């Protein structure tokens, strides 16, 4: 997501067997798996959450396949 903002690179999120809304809100099975990283990566989690939400918002038009 940083490359998209800073360098204008295109980003094409692919949601393989996961609902983009679960990625956007870090909930469901995705949220459960993501929660496992919080203990070891506390300093990075806020940035990851923001990037995941932005990527999920790019899906728009229900582009997930799975």
pLDDT tens, position by position, 12-46 = 889 888 899 999 999 998 999 889 888 899 999 99
End-to-end CA separation in angstroms for the chain: 22
Q: Which pTM value belongs to this model? A: 0.81
Residues 6+ apart with CB under 8 A from 42: none
65 has a pLDDT exceeding 90: no
Tokens linked to 26: 């870090």
What integer pLDDT is reported at residue 66 of this predicted model?
A: 46
Position 60 confidence tier, pLDDT thresholds 50, 70, 90: low
């Amino acid at each position: 997501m940083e490359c998209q903002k800073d360098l204008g690179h295109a980003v094409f999120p692919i949601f393989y067997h996961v609902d983009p809304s679960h990625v956007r809100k870090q909930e469901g099975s995705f949220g459960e798996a993501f929660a496992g990283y919080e203990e070891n990566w506390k300093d990075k989690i806020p940035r990851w959450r923001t990037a995941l939400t932005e990527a999920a918002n790019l899906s728009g038009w229900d582009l997930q396949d799975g």
